[in-house]
Structure 1
Amino acid sequence: MSNPDVNSRMVLAMRNIGVGHAGMQDFCRTFNMKGLAVNTYTNYVKKLKDTCEAVVKRTPNKAAQHVRSVYEVKFPELKDQRIIDVAVTYDGTWHRRGRTSHYGVSVVIDLMTGLAIDFELLSNFCHCCTLAKNTKSQAEFDEWFEEHKNECQANHDGSACSMESKAALILWNRSIDNYGLRYTTVLSDGDAKTK
């Protein structure tokens, strides 16, 4: 594989179906194609991550702006207020059922418009850190981690069960500053860990 567009699409496809680099190598061998070296694969993953994050940073802002405009039309007295109170629904979901998942995402959805205003992805696992811990001494790992920590995927120290509550705290804390929205009424399902 040499075409950068084909490579990035292949990496994205393998990530989407959850098989990663090893699965991509198996796929390429089946079709008698040369795969990507693990470092090249990792570089493509980083590029895709950066692209996705750039899109994600723009999308919630547009949704929040639309939510504000809908509330301002429906309630004209809110037009000049910096902070608008909104009713939302909130829930979290995990990569795996049970309490063993390493990844969880939580979403805040406006009840009036049905738009996802914001979300937070939490992970207590980083594949790069795991590989580095298995191949480096503690001193080498500590030095390596200084360079890696800004890209580390592990952004949660607790269990999968505590992800929903931590994500809620993050989302509620940034709602006013980032969007000028205060989540005052919350509709949740029966298994919510956030109170």
Structure 2
Amino acid sequence: MGKKYISKRLQNRNLGFQRFISTNSINNTAQTSIEHLTTTTEKKLRLSRAQLRARSISTTQSTTEDEYEPTFVDDESESHDIPYNSVNIIVNIGMILNLVNKFRCASCNRVGEMSEKVTQRRGLLYHITFSCTCSFETSFTNSTELVHSSTSRMDELNMMACVAANVAGIKRTGMTTILGILNILPPVQIENWNKYQKIYSNALDVVKDESHGRAAEEAAEQSSEAADHEGVTNIKVSIDGTWLTRRGHSSLHGVATVCSTADPPKVLDFECLSRHCTTCSGLLAIREHNPEMYQRFSAEHIESGCEENHSGSSSGMEAAGVVKVFCRSEVKHLLRYTTYIGDGDANNELALLDAQP
């Protein structure tokens, strides 16, 4: 009995040691694979994914073999020699002052005589000045200026907050709530927020156009037909539509998308349709009280671009969007969509036959 017990313990130790070596090799591979990445965020994301895979493998082995398993420490507590000089952290201003007061003043050489004052704030940007009792002053700003030809007094941290609000779908109001819970003052005022929004929107348009252009080139290269004398290539595409809400027949917003059938398939174009405009609805509140102001604001809004671009039913959004995309394919991509793959919606076929794009 004793020999069998000792033999079993030795087998368990060998299995645990083998899993430990396997897991360490995965971690080493993860460390090596992130060295070529350029940004800290990419490194952390890639490393986290690799460690999750390692934990998954280790967990699977433990359930099938025995209970001996090396323990992994949480990702945040591990040291991976990642450069943190470009990482943003949340720090209380009082803690910064305590840190500053641990160093000697550059003028009088005394310790702990500094006081702080926020001399300027623009949203999340703070310009803090530290003053010594000997009248020596030093200052720093917690964000760098945004390098853009059209920007004036705009910075990177407020731009990142605007992008984060858009990605999360919470807008400025939601971002203000989150910052308030973290005891952080609100972001930039709505006028400046809209300027950041404009820059972000223009950047997205550039990326979108470049992506669609590359997808069109790949689709033309893989087409079975050669381009005609005008340089237009006939290709087959797939089309589909979606709505903001699950019940598409009552949704106020929808999107029609056209994808290539190349390998791999990619989005060639899309059209967003809306039966509602938030600005127009807001202007209705002043139409009766101040008709002149309503007319002036309405004219300015229509000139800048109204969100409402579809007057038909919600179920007809997909067909209307597909027609618009088909009509501009030759001008935009030098492509002619001669055949399409769909989900059997007869409205798309009827709309294309009527429009003859």
TM category (shorter chain) comes to 0.7 to 0.9
Q: How far apart are residue 186 of structure 1 and its match?
A: 1.1
Q: How far apart are residue 89 of structure 1 and its match?
A: 0.6
Distance in 2 between the 1:31 and 1:160 partners?
40
Distance in 1 between the 2:164 and 2:347 partners?
33
Query: Compared with structure 1, are the counterparts of its residues 80 and 163 closer, same or farther at alpha carbon in structure 2 (3 Å cutoff)?
Result: closer
Given the alignment, which residue of 35, 42, 49 partners 2:201?
49
Q: 1:12-47: CA deviations, max 9, x gaps?
A: 222222222221121121111121323333332222
Any stretches of 5+ residues in structure 2 without a counterpart?
A: 1-123, 126-142, 144-154, 350-357
- Tell whether the 8 Å contact from 2:227 to 2:234 is kept in structure 1 after alignment: no
Query: Compared with structure 1, are the counterparts of its residues 58 and 10 closer, same or farther at alpha carbon in structure 2 (3 Å cutoff)?
Result: same
**1:125 matched residue in structure 2:** 276
How many equivalent pairs are there? 191
Query: Compared with structure 1, are the counterparts of its residues 49 and 131 closer, same or farther at alpha carbon in structure 2 (3 Å cutoff)?
Result: farther
Query: Rg bigger for which structure?
Result: 2
Q: How far apart are residue 11 of structure 1 and its match?
A: 1.9
**2:336 matched residue in structure 1:** 182
Q: How far apart are residue 108 of structure 1 and its match?
A: 0.9
Distance in 2 between the 1:96 and 1:192 partners?
21
Q: Give the secondary structure class of the aligned counterpart of 1:183.
A: strand
Given the alignment, which residue of 235, 238, 257 partners 1:89?
238
Q: 1:44-71: CA deviations, max 9, x gaps?
A: 2222222212222232122112211222
- Give the TM-score of the pair, scaled to structure 2: 0.49
Q: Give the secondary structure class of the aligned counterpart of 2:330.
A: helix
5 Å-filtered alignment, 1:145-156, equals: 145-149=298-302, 150-156=304-310
Q: Give the secondary structure class of the aligned counterpart of 1:184.
A: strand
Q: Identity over the aligned pairs, expressed in percent?
A: 26
**1:60 matched residue in structure 2:** 212
Higher relative contact order (CA 8 A, sep 6+): 1
Q: 1:134-174: CA deviations, max 9, x gaps?
A: 35634323212322322333322333222111111111101
1:85 counterpart letter in structure 2: N
Query: Compared with structure 1, are the counterparts of its residues 111 and 192 closer, same or farther at alpha carbon in structure 2 (3 Å cutoff)?
Result: farther
2:240 counterpart letter in structure 1: D
**1:110 matched residue in structure 2:** 260
Alignment of 1:40 with 2:192, yes or no, is yes
Query: Compared with structure 1, are the counterparts of its residues 61 and 85 closer, same or farther at alpha carbon in structure 2 (3 Å cutoff)?
Result: same
- Tell whether the 8 Å contact from 1:91 to 1:192 is kept in structure 2 after alignment: no
Of residues 130-139 and 21-30 in structure 1, the stretch that sits farther from structure 2 once superposed is: 130-139
Distance in 1 between the 2:162 and 2:274 partners?
21
Distance in 1 between the 2:273 and 2:210 partners?
19
Query: Compared with structure 1, are the counterparts of its residues 138 and 47 closer, same or farther at alpha carbon in structure 2 (3 Å cutoff)?
Result: farther
Distance in 1 between the 2:262 and 2:314 partners?
30
Any stretches of 5+ residues in structure 1 without a counterpart?
A: none
**2:60 matched residue in structure 1:** none
Distance in 1 between the 2:165 and 2:281 partners?
20
5 Å-filtered alignment, 1:9-24, equals: 9-24=160-175
Of residues 83-92 and 127-136 in structure 1, the stretch that sits farther from structure 2 once superposed is: 127-136
Q: How far apart are residue 6 of structure 1 and its match?
A: 1.9
Q: 1:85-106: CA deviations, max 9, x gaps?
A: 2111100111211133332221
Distance in 1 between the 2:244 and 2:170 partners?
14
**1:140 matched residue in structure 2:** 293
2:165 counterpart letter in structure 1: M
- Give the TM-score of the pair, scaled to structure 1: 0.84
Given the alignment, which residue of 317, 321, 324 partners 1:163?
317
State the superposition RMSD in angstroms. 2.3
Distance in 1 between the 2:157 and 2:285 partners?
31
